Structure 1
Amino acid sequence: MNCLRSKVFLNSGLMIKPTRFSTSVNEKLEGCLSDVTVLDLTRILAGPFCTMLLSDLGAKVIKVEKPGKGDETRGWGPPFVNGDSTYYLSINRNKKSIAIDFKRSEGLKILEKLVASSDIFIENYIPGKLNSMGLGYDDLNKINPKIIYCSISGFGPTGPYAKRAGFDVIAASMGGLLAITGPEGGEPCKVGVAMSDLSTGLYAHGAILAALHQRSITGLGMKIDCNLLSTTVSILANLGVGYLNSGIIPPRRGTAHETVVPYQSYECADGKHITLCAGSDKMFHSICRVIFSPAEAEKIINDPKYTDNANRNANRLELNKLITKGLSAKPMQEWLKHFEGSGISYGPVNELDDVFEDPQVIHNQSVISVDHNKGGKIKLLGPAVKYQPLASNLSAFRSEMKSPPDVGEHTIEVLQQLGYNNETIEQLKEKKIIQC
């Protein structure tokens, strides 16, 4: 991994001379993971999201799919673009697709050859499934001791729920996320996007990078286990720790914060909403001075019920009524002008059309455009992180983002790189072991 270059690594007296980490700073790098190969046996969201993040950084991601329909999300539409669901397109850019039936011996041999030349193996099958096929960590470690094997599951590799299929909304239900999400006094709600899946993908991404770093020291791979339920429980954050130490179950509060007041969305005169956050007493004072007349503001600021956050929390219903009444006097856009430069944390509740027209979103280059395989261009959400290399020839990201692949689009290319000749590839195709 180019990001982790070193001349000699020591571990328990063992000296290892690396052969793959010697890129010169004078060479052009196509992303800081440009010498990392990822064998991706994941579908749906958490795994593909993780491997897409790795691909953005230059890793060569080989997406292994079942011949035929491939990843289930290819059909998760509408909307579709040139026959591909936008769900699939959102999480599979920059990858190469190889379609193999690895349940058959000849397909399994192809996969084993890929393992031998890969750095990372990532899968999200039900725990035990790949072990039964000879593709467990112990099996692959014998082929390639440097392999980093990442498993993503619904509930973990062991325990009473290990064999259950795990989807985001189930983990979010069981992990408490649905119970704390939704309008006050209303029904439990799922978050608009699959936060348990996406957060698990982010955890897996970070864990893989940590394992790559350790491998640069030891020369050895490792097994990583991530699961949706543990992720969901871990991101309960302040609410989870609050319950563990107080025994108080927090109610659903809509857009409001459990402990900070005011910290929520309010309706304006035109029916649109603005979100205000008072992270300090000073911010609260500023909010009051923008919304209310000078006399009203000072009265509220000096009211013993609102002098600090603890008191504001205890009297949140009454305070929120005052703020709602004050904001009902003007439309949202007018309030945005009043809050500009006030030092207050604020923002409009944007619909998606507003999001992608927002000047800061545009400035941050949050949308990218790539050529679609079947013609024309498609828009995708761009990487959220920016890097500033010290040298102009060093790039954290690959130089060109590429469209998500068709099922088996790169099967022939990958097999040829493994040493398969055209005759053998044609035979594998006729036996329906591969799709290309």
Structure 2
Amino acid sequence: MTNLWSEAEAATGRPLSGIKVIDLTLARAGPTAVRHLADWGADVIRIEPPAADSNSDPAAGARHGPDFQNLHRNKRAMTLNLKSPEGHAIFMQLAAEADVIVENMRSTVKSRLGIDYDAVRAVNPGIVYGSISGFGQDGPYAARAGVDQIAQGMGGLMSITGLPGQGPVRVGIPIADLCAGGYLAMGISMALFDRSRTGQGRWVQTSLLEAMVAMLDFQGSRWTMAGDVPQQAGNDHPTGIPTGVFPTADGHINIAASGQRLWERFAQAAGIEHLVTDPRFEDARGRSRNRAELNALIGEVTVRQPSQYWVDLLMEAGVPCGPINSIDQTFADPQVQHLGLARPVEHPALGEIRIVASPLQMTGADRDIRRAAPDAGQHTDEVLGALGLDPDRIAALRDQKII
């Protein structure tokens, strides 16, 4: 039998090199968690069901499209019918050798398939089993299907996003999915560290709802500690004033001049020193109470010059500010380019493509994309051959729709 887990992956020198992951996830939150692990060296085998149409994904679009390629880079892929006895047996062989399994099935589904935490732990006590759900593994909403926008609404985010009086507004990215995936990857990493001391695995769980409520952060604690229900503040910071979007001669700019010292620096640089001693704005409480008036007065000044003028002036004065970029402008920004946030990878059909890099940097480890997202079943024969199955047996499994 050859080595199931790629030696090339173990030789990368990345912090998760040698960690073996089975990816059973669908949609976005689960694949996001696995992507974090794969980016930092884990050897991931993604298991998908055999399907007639393998060229698209309901959540991530066309397999060769930008969403799928970004979501599933650095992984291998195989197909396997977990509902068949033979497919289940192959899965358990893989699970016995794995370090991590990640899934986002409903609790009843994974139990019915016999691939739940207890079933896997019976053959591999050291397994770290990561689960993402919409609302939790148990409780009154456990059986509900959860998607990002539903979690944004139920978690309170849509009530504080948008302009005052506009009505609920979703965030422009799948933030509940992305945050839940990030939290799960962090939890899996902690469980792996704990296993290095105890030898025992853990079941690590999170949900879109839990991630969304946690991401409320200070807006949530305003309620839990003070009984204050935050409202929509639009482009204004809810508590730090003046912080928000202001018009310029050629667009808009963000300025963050909250706190007395920053407010005074900004007023001096902008030539509105007289507002510092104005009774309406002389302290934080007054600036909060008279926010609309203050913003209007600032806007009358900022609109006279282009955005870059204000960036240069306010940076010199030590006042945080920045342009409001479109996505193409973001990737053209010299600091974004310096940070290398778009990385090339070679795809066998698409040629060289560029993928959004991990936001982490570590000494002694690069964050280059090692492999493009795999085609469906691309590595099935490779994985099964490493398990000891000969070509005739693999062909028979394919004929029986098990792979």
Q: Distance in 2 between matches of 1:400 and 1:380?
A: 8
The secondary structure found in structure 2 opposite 1:432 is coil
The partner residue of 2:269 within 287, 290, 293 is: 290
Contact kept? 2:357, 2:369, Cα under 8 Å? no
What is the deviation of 1:353?
Answer: 1.1
What is the deviation of 1:334?
Answer: 2.4
Map of 2:99 onto structure 1: 119
- Deviation digits for residues 43-62 of structure 1, max 9, x if unmatched? 11111111111111110011
Is 1:385 matched up with 2:369?
no
Is 1:61 matched up with 2:44?
yes
The partner residue of 1:73 within 42, 47, 57 is: 57
Map of 1:354 onto structure 2: 329
Is 1:229 matched up with 2:209?
yes
Map of 1:18 onto structure 2: none
Map of 2:373 onto structure 1: 404
- Deviation digits for residues 342-384 of structure 1, max 9, x if unmatched? 2111111100111011000000111101111314111100111
Map of 2:307 onto structure 1: 332
Map of 1:4 onto structure 2: none
Map of 1:20 onto structure 2: none
Which one is further off, 308-317 or 358-367? Answer: 308-317
The secondary structure found in structure 1 opposite 2:332 is coil
Contact kept? 1:263, 1:275, Cα under 8 Å? yes
Map of 2:89 onto structure 1: 109
Contact kept? 1:373, 1:405, Cα under 8 Å? no
Kindly provide the amino acid, as one letter, of the partner of residue 237 in structure 1: D
The secondary structure found in structure 1 opposite 2:71 is coil
Kindly provide the amino acid, as one letter, of the partner of residue 260 in structure 2: D
Which one is further off, 370-379 or 225-234? Answer: 370-379
The secondary structure found in structure 2 opposite 1:304 is coil
Higher helix share: 2
What is the deviation of 1:72?
Answer: 6.2
Contact kept? 1:288, 1:301, Cα under 8 Å? yes
Map of 1:392 onto structure 2: none
Q: Distance in 2 between matches of 1:282 and 1:63?
A: 53
Contact kept? 1:127, 1:156, Cα under 8 Å? no
Inter-CA distance 29–374: structure 2 relative to 1 (3 Å threshold): closer
After superposition, the CA RMSD in angstroms is 1.7
Map of 1:250 onto structure 2: 230
- Deviation digits for residues 359-416 of structure 1, max 9, x if unmatched? 0000011110111131411110011111113xxxxx365x652101001101011111
- Deviation digits for residues 2-43 of structure 1, max 9, x if unmatched? xxxxxxxxxxxxxxxxxxxxxxxxx96431211100001001
Q: Distance in 2 between matches of 1:194 and 1:92?
A: 16
The secondary structure found in structure 1 opposite 2:158 is coil
Q: Distance in 2 between matches of 1:211 and 1:396?
A: 24
Q: Distance in 1 between matches of 2:216 and 2:139?
A: 21
Q: Distance in 1 between matches of 2:223 and 2:126?
A: 42
Q: Distance in 1 between matches of 2:330 and 2:283?
A: 34
State TM-score, norm by structure 1: 0.87
What is the deviation of 1:266?
Answer: 1.2
What is the deviation of 1:320?
Answer: 0.7
Pairing 1:45-194 to 2, within 5 Å after superposition: 45-68=28-51, 69=53, 73=57, 76-77=60-61, 84-194=64-174
Contact kept? 2:73, 2:369, Cα under 8 Å? no
Q: Distance in 2 between matches of 1:286 and 1:350?
A: 25
Q: Distance in 2 between matches of 1:354 and 1:375?
A: 24
Q: Distance in 2 between matches of 1:108 and 1:140?
A: 11
Q: Distance in 1 between matches of 2:153 and 2:57?
A: 22
Which one is further off, 158-167 or 239-248? Answer: 239-248
The secondary structure found in structure 2 opposite 1:157 is coil
Kindly provide the amino acid, as one letter, of the partner of residue 287 in structure 1: F
Q: Distance in 1 between matches of 2:27 and 2:54?
A: 11
Q: Which runs of 5+ in 1 are unaligned?
A: 1-26, 390-394
The partner residue of 1:415 within 364, 372, 384 is: 384
Q: Distance in 2 between matches of 1:387 and 1:227?
A: 28
Inter-CA distance 70–43: structure 2 relative to 1 (3 Å threshold): farther
Inter-CA distance 100–157: structure 2 relative to 1 (3 Å threshold): same
Q: Distance in 2 between matches of 1:28 and 1:120?
A: 19
Contact kept? 2:27, 2:59, Cα under 8 Å? no
State TM-score, norm by structure 2: 0.94
Contact kept? 1:369, 1:377, Cα under 8 Å? yes
Is 1:426 matched up with 2:380?
no
Map of 2:298 onto structure 1: 323
Inter-CA distance 105–414: structure 2 relative to 1 (3 Å threshold): same
Contact kept? 2:22, 2:101, Cα under 8 Å? yes
Q: Which runs of 5+ in 2 are unaligned?
A: 1-9
Q: Distance in 2 between matches of 1:335 and 1:309?
A: 23
Kindly provide the amino acid, as one letter, of the partner of residue 59 in structure 1: A
The secondary structure found in structure 2 opposite 1:305 is coil
Map of 1:211 onto structure 2: 191
Kindly provide the amino acid, as one letter, of the partner of residue 235 in structure 2: T
Inter-CA distance 262–73: structure 2 relative to 1 (3 Å threshold): farther
Q: Provide the aligned length of Structure 1 versus Structure 2.
A: 393
Q: Distance in 1 between matches of 2:386 and 2:347?
A: 25
Map of 1:262 onto structure 2: 242
What is the deviation of 1:304?
Answer: 2.9
Contact kept? 2:18, 2:42, Cα under 8 Å? yes
Map of 2:6 onto structure 1: none
Kindly provide the amino acid, as one letter, of the partner of residue 33 in structure 1: L
What is the deviation of 1:313?
Answer: 1.1
Q: Distance in 2 between matches of 1:217 and 1:76?
A: 38
Identity across aligned pairs (percent)?
35
Q: Distance in 2 between matches of 1:348 and 1:199?
A: 25
Map of 2:280 onto structure 1: 305
